[in-house]
Amino acid sequence: MKCLDKGVVAWLTGLPGSGKTTIARMAERALKDMGYRVEVLDGDWARTTVSEGAGFTREERMRHLKRIAWIARLLARNGVIVICSFVSPYREARRMVRNIIGEEAEFIEVYVKASLDTVIKRDPKGLYVKAMRGEIKHMTGISDPYEAPENPDLVIDTESTSPEEASKMLLEAILKAIK
């Protein structure tokens, strides 16, 4: 197992269904195969563990993402490569996350880009259908905004990039950051 003096945090942001977790998991497997210590933190895991019961208002999302940022920072400062997969829809939240993590670790903001039409067609969890029926409040892209990053470190357009190509792009960015 390769032990880094300091890890890195790759923060994947994008609409629900854009491919964040798929890309994160594929990159995780590749990095582990290379002998690195890697953790993937994603929204589903976080909302059933460290942020159980967290809601989806702006304030609740900010508090939720702040918790995750501190966990990612702790892992990274201990030599772990951390891949975070969170919608994180607000620029303010991503700035906060970058500031928390950036004090002790390299931070890579990755915009996993896909249009609203595309993610509605994909809709792996049926969330968009429920949101359009009014069953889900504060749904990013429907009743709550997604503020696309203005200057991300990496953009992965999943409408024109396969999951394999996307994970390779992420892997290359992470390996460059730890060199």
pLDDT along the chain (179 residues), means of 10: 88 96 98 97 91 88 96 96 97 98 96 94 85 86 91 97 98 95
| Three-state secondary-structure class, residue 76 | helix
- C-alpha dihedral (165, 168, 151, 55), degrees to nearest 10: 90
Question: The whole model's pTM is what?
Answer: 0.95
56 and 146 Cβ atoms separated by less than 8 Å = no
Instruction: Please identify which of the residues 18, 51, 85, 88 carries the catalytic annotation.
Output: 88
In this prediction, residue 110 carries a pLDDT of 98
In this prediction, residue 41 carries a pLDDT of 98
88 is catalytic: yes
Which CATH code of 3.40.50.1000, 3.30.70.2740, 3.40.50.300, 3.30.70.20 fits the domain covering 8-178? 3.40.50.300
In this prediction, residue 173 carries a pLDDT of 98
In this prediction, residue 37 carries a pLDDT of 96
